[in-house]
């Protein structure tokens, strides 16, 4: 959608918790500074301090910043180097994947306790349709307050909620409610809420589109709503013009859709400095394949297509993929295909970023795997499932390929006072 920083914060009594929520069954719940808040919950001594979570290398990007850090201008998606310049006194932390995943699961469970109609947008936000829950739990605004109270009491986290008649307006409402607030947009006041907003608050208006609209004198959503459709079509094209015109009048027919089908699972890394060392690239692909395989197994999914993404130092991006006869969730098989794809590129340039992705996903239970001739009945799949159990108990650094031991840049090391390191053997080093 449009840029969230374009939506003004602040309380307006017309859109407060006591506003008329009749005909407003859509909630958008967005956790406040989620990654940073999870870290602060675990380390209470950080409360009230500027905390920034993201990639810590020279090319790292901010994933989340506490509101104490935001007062210095630090924002999500900002280069970490810029964040450090703005707020050198902040505490800078790498994302803790398992802690974030556990917190996200708990958050989503609270949503599903309210209604089965939950549409997650990411690990920390979702749309809810509470029309069917009102008889048992009360009005939409009351349900929203119940969710906020449970988040605080059970998870020691805060969230912001938008209550509206449509998904689009509910999303804008939660943005305006931040932090730790609630905005109700009565059905009869949607245009009063929308039309004063800057035009780049609309879904689909990025920086370039905003510049185009500003050149036409369209600064606010109301300006766009009153603009002739022909002028909009010439400026942004037929489809975008129709889309923006509908949104500017508060019309958004989309329903909350809980069925979210994952189309692919992947992981990528940006190197601190451009690299050309084949052994480092190989180990990076191995680490990424491990992450992808673990995520597939955790989600009970397998896939038939393995793809790699290679971004060169000059920002050219190359994508290659291979579809195999049998679906897999085995990291070793994913790695072997990924490495073969990379070798086939014959790339000699320095590389900035590399990624691995598995596509064409299906449920693992629905797929029977045919053993190849001479393949043992038990092998890498069983070893990796056993490794998953060790990781769940002792942390990600407790088991893994021997070539990744001690490589915190490739494989994040967690702090476990007593851990058993079980190196898995590696594929042959490329000649």
Catalytic sites, residue numbers: 125
| Extended strands (E) in 112-188 | 118-122, 125-129, 159-164, 182-184
Give the C-alpha separation, 417 to 431, whole Å. 38
Cis peptide before 179 (omega within 30 of 0): yes
For every residue of 224-272, DSSP letters joined together read HHHS-HHHHHHHH-HHHHHHHHHHHTT---PPP-------EEEEEEEEE
Contact 268, 248 (CB under 8 A): no
Residue environment code for 300-314, b if the CB has 16+ CB neighbours within 10 A, otherwise e: ebbbbbbbbbbbeee
Please check if 12 is assigned to a binding site.
no
Give the C-alpha separation, 87 to 263, whole Å. 38
| Extended strands (E) in 7-57 | 26-31, 51-54
Please check if 252 is assigned to a binding site.
no
What's CA 279's distance to the chain center, in Å? Answer: 30
Question: Which residues contribute to the annotated binding site?
Answer: 30, 124
Question: Which residues contribute to the annotated binding site for Mg(2+)?
Answer: 30, 124
């Amino acid at each position: 959608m449009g840029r969230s920083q374009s939506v003004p914060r602040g309380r307006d009594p017309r859109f407060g918790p006591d506003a008329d929520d009749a005909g407003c069954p859509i909630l958008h719940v967005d956790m406040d500074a989620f990654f940073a808040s999870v870290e602060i919950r675990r380390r209470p001594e950080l409360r009230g301090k500027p905390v920034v979570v993201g990639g810590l290398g020279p090319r790292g990007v901010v994933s989340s910043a506490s509101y104490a850090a935001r007062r210095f201008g630090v924002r999500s998606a900002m280069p970490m180097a810029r964040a450090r310049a703005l707020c050198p006194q902040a505490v800078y932390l790498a994302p803790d994947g398992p802690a974030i995943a556990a917190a996200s699961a708990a958050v989503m469970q609270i949503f599903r306790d309210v209604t089965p109609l939950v549409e997650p947008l990411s690990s920390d936000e979702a749309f809810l349709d509470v029309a069917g829950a009102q008889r048992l739990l009360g009005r939409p605004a009351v349900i929203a307050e119940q969710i906020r109270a449970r988040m605080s009491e059970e998870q020691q986290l805060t969230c912001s909620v938008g209550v509206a008649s449509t998904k689009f307006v509910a999303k804008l409402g939660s943005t305006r409610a931040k932090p730790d607030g609630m905005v109700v947009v009565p059905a009869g006041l949607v245009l009063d809420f929308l039309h004063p907003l800057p035009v780049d608050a609309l879904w689909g208006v990025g920086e370039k589109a905003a510049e185009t609209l500003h050149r036409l004198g369209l600064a606010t959503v109301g300006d766009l709503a009153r603009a002739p459709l022909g002028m909009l079509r010439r400026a942004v094209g037929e489809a975008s013009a129709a889309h923006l015109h509908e949104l500017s009048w508060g019309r958004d027919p989309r329903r909350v859709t809980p069925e979210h089908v994952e189309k692919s699972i992947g992981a990528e890394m940006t190197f601190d400095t451009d690299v050309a060392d084949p052994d480092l690239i190989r180990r990076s692909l191995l680490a990424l394949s491990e992450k992808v395989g673990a995520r597939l197994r955790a989600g009970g999914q397998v896939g038939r297509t393995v793809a790699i993404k290679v971004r060169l130092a000059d920002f050219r991006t190359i994508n290659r993929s291979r579809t195999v006869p049998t679906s897999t969730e085995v990291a070793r098989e994913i790695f072997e295909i990924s490495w073969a794809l990379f070798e086939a590129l014959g790339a000699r340039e320095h590389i900035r970023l590399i990624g691995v992705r598995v596509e064409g996903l299906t449920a693992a239970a629905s797929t029977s795997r045919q053993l190849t001739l001479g393949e043992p009945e038990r092998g890498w799949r069983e070893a990796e499932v056993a490794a998953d159990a060790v990781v769940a108990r002792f942390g990600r650094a407790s088991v893994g390929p021997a070539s990744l031991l001690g490589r915190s840049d490739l494989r994040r090391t967690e702090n476990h006072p007593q851990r058993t390191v079980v190196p898995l053997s590696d594929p042959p080093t490329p000649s």
